[in-house]
Amino acid sequence: MDESERGYYAMTTNLEHVTWMGGSSPLPVIEISVEEYAYAMELYFEQREEYRAYWKDHGRQHEQDYAEMFWNRARHDAHATYREATS
């Protein structure tokens, strides 16, 4: 994903990424900060692009099956990253 595609979501890249390894779960989307949501979206799109790059046209038929998994991983990682940044 190049810089022009990242747009608004690139504003959070100055954080050190933390992978969620347990502990507290993310709050509902409506209750999180705009920055945490933007970071989750950035992580989601990054995972989706990596999936597309690897599977090319063969994976398109299954992409929707993985979308929820990508989103959940992105939400939990964004939560862990912001939890670490504010502690």
Segment-wise mean pLDDT, segments of 10 residues, the chain, 87 residues:
45 75 92 92 92 79 85 95 86
Question: Whole domain around residue 59: which residue ranges?
Answer: 26-86
Residue with tokens 């705009």: 34
- Nearest CA among 28, 63, 31 for reference residue 47: 63
pLDDT of residue 40: 94
In-domain check, residue 44 = yes
pLDDT of residue 59: 67
Q: What is the CA radius of gyration of the chain?
A: 13
In-domain check, residue 73 = yes
pLDDT of residue 10: 45
In-domain check, residue 12 = no
How far does Cα 50 stand from its chain's mean position?
12
User: Structurally, how many domains does the chain consist of?
Assistant: 1
In-domain check, residue 7 = no
